[in-house]
Structure 1
Amino acid sequence: MKTERAGTTDARYRRGGEGDRAVVFVHGFLDDQHIWDPLIAELTIPGVEHVTVDLAGSGDRTAAGGPFTYDRFAAEAGAVVDALNKPFVIVGQSMGAPVAELVAARRADRALGLVLVTPVPLAGTQLPHDAIGPFRTLGGDGAGQRAARLQLAAALPDGELDRLVAVGERLRPEVVRDYADCWNNGHPSGEQPSHYAGPVLIVRGAEDGFVTEGLINTAVAPRFCTVQAVVVGSGGHWVHVEQPSAVASHVDRFLAGLV
C-alpha cells in the first residue's frame, strides 16, 4: 500500500488494490489504521480499492493538536474520500462508526454504502461520570489498556493484543481523554434520524459486552432507513480483528449487493 496526503490537510491515508470503487476504513478508540489489515487481507470482492486513515492524535498522527471532535475527524476523513474522487463505501468501528456516518451523510451522491462495526451511537453512550472516568484516564496506561481490551474482547490473538496495546500507549493522555469525551457525549446529529439514507450494514460481536444487542436495537439501527444487522460468534468489541474472515464475508456480501 502507498501513502498519500489528503489535499492541504495533514491527514494521510494508505491505499491499496485497484478499482472504480473505494472502501475507506476508519479505526476506533486507542487504535490506528493498521488494525484493519487482517480484515482487508480476507476481502475477496474484486474491483475495489482499500483505503485506511489515521484519526488526528492516533497512529502516525500522534503529534497532532486538537480539537479532537467528530466534526474534525469527519472533515479530515471526508477530505480523504474527496481526494479519491470515486464512489465509496465507508467502514467505521466503535468511535470510528459515527465518523463514517457523518462522512457518508455529507456525500450522499457518492456514498454507496455504510458499514458500522461494533458501533457506538452517534448520539454518544452517555455513560455517567464514574463509568466514563476509567476510559478518560487510559492514556499512557499500558496495563489498564490491556485489561480493558481483554475485558471487552473474546478472541484477540496474543500478538495482536500486544500490538494494539503498544499502539494505544503512544496516544497522549489529553488525546485519550478527549477521545473518550467525544464518543461518550456524541454528536447533535445523533438525536435525529440519520441524514444518510443509503444501505447500512451493522456488524456486532456476539460477546461484546459494551456494544450490546440492546444498544444496537435502540440507539443505532432505528436511525437508518435500509439496514441489515449481523452478529459474529466468538467475537467481542474488536470482532474485525478477532474474527476477520467472518467479518470479511459479511462485508463482501454487502459490497456485492450494492449497485
Structure 2
Amino acid sequence: MMSLHTTTIGDGPAQLVFLHGIFGQGKNFTSIAKQLADVATCTLVDLPNHGRSPWTDELSYPTLAASVAELLETIGSPVCLVGHSMGGKVAMRTALEHPELVERLMVVDISPSVGLGTNFGPLVQAMQSLPLADLTNRKQADELLREGIPSDTVRGFLMQNLRHEDVDGSGTRRWHWQMNLDLLARELEGTISDWPAIDAHYDGRVLWVAGEKSPYVRQDAYQTMRELFPRYVLVTIKDAGHWVHSEQPAAFTSTLRSFLALEG
C-alpha cells in the first residue's frame, strides 16, 4: 500500500477529497477547503510523484486510481471526489473502478481524451533547464524561469515545488524539484495525456466544471463524457482559464458548495 501525504481541513459532515493537477500539490486547494470547512471535512491529497507523497518508477491512471482508492477506504464513507486536470482524470478513473467509494464526482477543466502536452511542454523545458546546482536564492530562480514561463501566476505555482533542503541526510542543503520532474516530463505526452479504455460507467452525480478561456473541455468530448458518466452536468466558469479554482475562487467555491448540497 502506498501511503499518500494528506492534509485535513474542516470538520463539516460531508467528506470532500481534492486531487490536484500535474505539477501541483494538495495544498493548492487550501483556501477553497477553508471556505468549505463548515460543511465538509476536506482531505487535500498529494498524488504520487508530487508534493510529499512517494515517487514511483512508472505512471498510469489505473495505478494512480488504485492509490487514491486505498486512501478513500480509510475514510470510511463515500466521498465527494474533486479532481483538477490530471487529478480530474485520476478522479474519473477512481469513480469508474471504485464507485462504492465515490458518492459524487466533480471534474475540473479536463475531459477523458484531451491531452496536456502542447501547453505544458514548454513549462517542463523551462524547469528542466534551471541550473539547480548554481542557484543561490529563490529570486534568482524566478528570474531564470521568467523567459520560459512569462506568467507570474503560473511561475509562482510551479515554484512551490522548488525546495532548498537537506534531501539525503548529509547536512548540506541543495535546491531540487520536490516533484518527480523527470518521470512527469517523460510521460506528459504519453500516459498523462492518454485515456486507457475502460468498459464501465459511473451512475452517481457528476459536475463537470470548465474554465471559459480553457481548451480542455471540448464539444467533441461530450459523447465520451456521457457514455462514462450519464448523469453529468456541465458548468462553465466565466473569465477562468485552466486553473479555475485559483483564477475564480469565489465562483468555484460557490459552485462546489451548491453541488455538495444537492440531494441524491
* TM-score of the pair, normalised by structure 2: 0.77
Higher RCO structure, 1 or 2 (CA under 8 Å, sep 6+): 1
Deviation of the 1:168 alpha carbon: 4.8
- Give the one of 80, 92, 117 matched to 1:89: 80
Q: Secondary structure at the match of 1:22?
A: strand
The 3-state SS of whatever aligns with 1:241 is: helix
Q: 2:159 is matched by which residue type in structure 1? A: A
Structure 1 residue 146 corresponds to structure 2 residue 171? no
Equivalent residue in structure 1 for 2:15, among 22, 34, 39: 22
Whether the 8 Å CA contact 1:140–1:172 is kept in 2: the answer is: no
Residue 231 (structure 1) aligned with residue 241 (structure 2): no
- The runs of 4+ residues in structure 1 deviating greater than 6 Å are none
The aligned counterpart of 1:256 is: 261
Map of 1:175 onto structure 2: 183
Aligned residues: CA RMSD: 2.7
Please give the secondary structure, in 2, of the residue aligned with 1:67.
coil
Kept after mapping to 2: 8 A contact 1:73/1:99:
yes
Query: Structure 2: how far apart are the matches of 1:254 and 1:11?
Result: 26
SS at match of 2:99: coil
Equivalent pair of 1:91/1:115 in contact (CA under 8 Å) = yes
Q: Distance in 1 between matches of 2:85 and 2:254?
A: 19
1:165 aligned to which of 130, 133, 158:
158
Partner of 1:73: 64
Distance (Å, rounded) in 1 between the aligned partners of 2:181 and 2:157: 16
Is 1:49 paired with 2:41? yes
Cα distance in 1, alignment partners of residues 243 and 59 from structure 2: 22
User: Following the alignment from structure 1 to structure 2, what is the Cα–Cα distance between the partners of residues 56 and 124?
Assistant: 21
Please name the residue that 1:244 is paired with: 249
Q: Extract unaligned runs of 5+ from structure 2.
A: 130-144, 163-176
Distance (whole Å) between structure 2 residues aligned to residue 44 and residue 253 of structure 1: 14
Q: Deviations over 1:89-143 (max 9, x none)?
A: 100011111111122223323421000000131x45397xx88864664553544
State the partner residue of 2:51.
59
Counterpart amino acid of residue 9 in structure 2: G
2:196 equivalent to 1:187: yes
For the residues of structure 2 that align with 1:166 and 1:173, how far apart are their CA atoms?
Answer: 12
TM-score (norm 1): 0.78
Partner of 1:202: 208
Q: Distance in 2 between matches of 1:107 and 1:34?
A: 25
Q: What per-residue deviation string (whole Å, max 9, x for no partner) do you get for residues 26-85 of structure 1? A: 011111111111222333662x21001111111113x61321221221111111111111
Match of residue 38 from structure 1: 31
Distance 1:108 1:10, change over 3 A: closer
**Cα distance, 1:243 vs. partner?**
0.6
Q: Which runs of 5+ in 1 are unaligned?
A: 1-7, 151-157
Aligned residues between the structures:
233
Alpha-carbon contact 1:24-1:90 (below 8 Å) kept: yes
